[in-house]
Structure 1
Amino acid sequence: MAGSGTAHLRGEDTLLSVQDLAVEYRTKGGSFKAVAGISFDVKKGETLGIVGESGCGKSTTGRAVLRLDPIAGGRIRYDDKWIEELPEKRMRDLRRDMQMIFQDPVASLNPRRAVKDIVTEGLAIAGTSDEDRTEAAQTVLEQVGLPSERFSSMLPRQLSGGQAQRLAIGRALALNPRLLICDEPVSALDVSVQAQILNLLEDLKKEFDLTIIFIAHDLGVVRTVSDNVLVMYLGKVCEFGDSVEVYDKPAHPYTRALLDSVPLTDPDKGFAGPALQGDIPSPLRPPAGCRFRSRCPSAQDKCAEEEPTMREVRPGQYAACHFPSI
């Protein structure tokens, strides 16, 4: 339940359930939790957007779901499996069902391998025959808009940024996953190319019945693609709810500040509150109580004394704030 930190109740249609997840890193300055006990569910067929400033823990959350980053605490249930308990071999097998598209498409591709080999890399690891891989490469490349006869023998350096991202998407889809985690998939692309990739993802979601976690700092992009949105700040969840409701009626002051920081084409629309000020504090020494209080224009004494818990402020909308906008 929201009161205990979970974004919405787990049911039969829940594909992924993250419970009190913590990810800890060690540095020369000490250890810190990049993700500090967050909980959320993702329903089958849903697109969940995760937003926040750089350093808030959103990408770490996505990587931890796939156990690409070590889990320091909490539990992750995918379908009927508690994945934090799985041996590494079984986790590798499960990753065929849970794929990730990384932020930098070019850096995520082997520069020495041809497109046809990259797109079927996962199938090769799984022991699929050469004949089946060739057929799969032709099918997948066509689906992501990279016709095999033109692109199959190219190297990543011969591709544009948008083409490289299409290839990265194709590599993930070749394994026929059910969950696709997209980590800033369009942030490095021009605006016109961003629209093409977003449309492609939407089409592929419908065609393959995908469940998507879409991680981004661009609130406009997340609103366009997401059914629900999860707002993170300094390793914690600030707000969760239907993307339209959260964007139109933000309950947490951090969500409001993020929205106020987005340039508006129509000055008569938007919120009257101040835009986000100051820098995010060091995760090595997060503020006591509410982590956002050092930047919050509405902070009061209680915010320094007591950490707020997630609670339902409107039907289906939750916020971790002592004084939410209702």
Structure 2
Amino acid sequence: MAGSGSAHLRGDEALLSVQDLVVEYPTKAGTVQAVSKISFDVLPGETLGIVGESGCGKSTTGRAVLRLDRVTAGRIRFGTDWIEQIDEKHMRQLRRDMQMIFQDPISSLNPRRAVKEIVVEGMTVAGAPKADRAKKSSEVLDSVGLPPDRYSDVLPKALSGGQAQRVAIARALALNPRLLICDEPVSALDVSVQAQILNLIEDLKAEFNLTVVFIAHDLGVVRTVSDNVMVMYLGKVCEFGDSVEIYEDPAHPYTRALLDSVPLTDPEKGFAGPALEGDVPSPLSPPTGCRFRTRCPNVQDRCVTEEPEMREVRPGQFAACHFPIESIRKTSTPVLSKQL
């Protein structure tokens, strides 16, 4: 079962399997430990939400899966391919099955190309016939709620943020991918538009039989779309499990602190609990033992010297903590609604 850094391992069933992933960046000041030996699996048809504060390594993890960032160590399997081993030609072919939606929709689109060309860029690179590209362009634009007769000839500068993100989603879908990695896809959008894009991704997931990795710092967004949630802190996995279980009954103090930092619906009541004290340590020199210990309200001597391993603390719920929080299910109420 879970070992050092593992979230969960489900063997050959998984469409995506990440094992002991390490991503480091050399700098003049030292080595930045962006992702430090994390493991997780995603089954076909699942949505895995990855959540954590800025700088926790969640976006780096998503980029490493597509080999957009260099993998320092570890293994990544997609289907039957170990992608850290294959050559660039094979990787380009494989990326047709693994598409990414980026955080900033406008900057991810070519400003000089019309929408109808942008959404089939991948097909153009692959050498698809012009007639096939035109047909697919109309189909995917219609799928994301952008009527082709109105938007095909539009340039990105004429699009709103929500429309640009729909174009980015259409571009990802045009190659009929099996895995869709969404890197903060709604963080730059207004709340009302966020809801539209989230609902769209859910609908398209069912329509196109997608497996999704959804990366975000917004806890409410992640819970809304995810079957399972992986909580990261300073390059490590803190907690993993079913989204409802984790949000209603967190086991790791960091997950609890994140939930407590969510504003309550009544502005006079403020937040559910106290704010996290201190700043995130530098990834150039992370703390010994448990990386969260410098901010943890439950820190003890063991946390300073011994790094906690990921272990099952409740059925189907895993946490990397020497002293996990006892279940509060009997006395607590859900912190966040599953509905937007």
TM-score (norm 2): 0.93
Quick one: which amino acid aligns to residue 119 of structure 2? V
> Which ranges in structure 1 are unaligned for 5 or more consecutive residues?
none
Q: Within 2, Cα distance between the matches of 1:8 and 1:293?
A: 23
Which structure 2 residues correspond to residues 144-155 of structure 1 after superposition, within 5 A?
A: 144-155=144-155
Any conservation in 1 of the 2:262–2:271 contact (CA below 8 Å)?
no
Q: Deviations over 1:70-129 (max 9, x none)?
A: 000000011111110000110010000000000000010000110000000000000001
Q: Within 1, Cα distance between the matches of 2:48 and 2:269?
A: 26
The aligned residue for residue 250 of structure 2 is 250
Name the SS of the counterpart of 1:238 in structure 2. strand
The aligned residue for residue 91 of structure 2 is 91
The aligned residue for residue 335 of structure 2 is none
The aligned residue for residue 173 of structure 2 is 173
The aligned residue for residue 3 of structure 2 is 3
Q: Within 1, Cα distance between the matches of 2:92 and 2:136?
A: 21
Which structure 2 residues correspond to residues 62-141 of structure 1 after superposition, within 5 A?
A: 62-141=62-141
Q: Within 1, Cα distance between the matches of 2:323 and 2:273?
A: 15
Deviation at 1:22, TM superposition (A): 0.4
Q: Within 2, Cα distance between the matches of 1:7 and 1:301?
A: 25
The aligned residue for residue 210 of structure 1 is 210
Name the SS of the counterpart of 2:15 in structure 1. strand
Q: Within 2, Cα distance between the matches of 1:160 and 1:266?
A: 31
Quick one: which amino acid aligns to residue 64 of structure 1? A
What count of residue pairs does the alignment treat as equivalent?
326
Q: Within 1, Cα distance between the matches of 2:9 and 2:303?
A: 27
Any conservation in 1 of the 2:259–2:272 contact (CA below 8 Å)?
no
Q: Within 2, Cα distance between the matches of 1:206 and 1:151?
A: 24
Q: Within 2, Cα distance between the matches of 1:277 and 1:318?
A: 24
Name the SS of the counterpart of 1:175 in structure 2. coil
Deviation at 1:278, TM superposition (A): 1.8
Quick one: which amino acid aligns to residue 149 of structure 1? D
The aligned residue for residue 306 of structure 2 is 306
Judging changes above 3 Å, is the alpha-carbon distance between structure 1 residues 185 and 292 closer, same or farther for their aligned structure 2 residues? same
1:156 lines up with 2:135 in the alignment: no
Name the SS of the counterpart of 1:240 in structure 2. strand
The aligned residue for residue 192 of structure 1 is 192
Q: Within 2, Cα distance between the matches of 1:58 and 1:324?
A: 22
1:240 lines up with 2:240 in the alignment: yes
TM superposition outliers: structure 1 runs of 4+ over 6 Å: 267-272
Q: Deviations over 1:19-64 (max 9, x none)?
A: 0000011222111220010000001000000000000000000000
Judging changes above 3 Å, is the alpha-carbon distance between structure 1 residues 4 and 182 closer, same or farther for their aligned structure 2 residues? same
Q: Which moved more, 1:273-282 or 1:53-62?
A: 273-282
Q: Within 2, Cα distance between the matches of 1:3 and 1:24?
A: 21
Deviation at 1:267, TM superposition (A): 8.3
Any conservation in 1 of the 2:14–2:79 contact (CA below 8 Å)?
yes
The aligned residue for residue 219 of structure 1 is 219
Q: Within 2, Cα distance between the matches of 1:26 and 1:32?
A: 6
Any conservation in 2 of the 1:6–1:41 contact (CA below 8 Å)?
no
Quick one: which amino acid aligns to residue 319 of structure 1? A
TM-score (norm 1): 0.97
The aligned residue for residue 294 of structure 2 is 294
The aligned residue for residue 22 of structure 1 is 22
The aligned residue for residue 259 of structure 1 is 259
Deviation at 1:8, TM superposition (A): 2.2
The aligned residue for residue 281 of structure 1 is 281
The aligned residue for residue 183 of structure 1 is 183
Any conservation in 1 of the 2:119–2:174 contact (CA below 8 Å)?
yes
Quick one: which amino acid aligns to residue 131 of structure 2? E
Quick one: which amino acid aligns to residue 118 of structure 1? I
Name the SS of the counterpart of 1:93 in structure 2. helix
> Which ranges in structure 2 are unaligned for 5 or more consecutive residues?
327-340
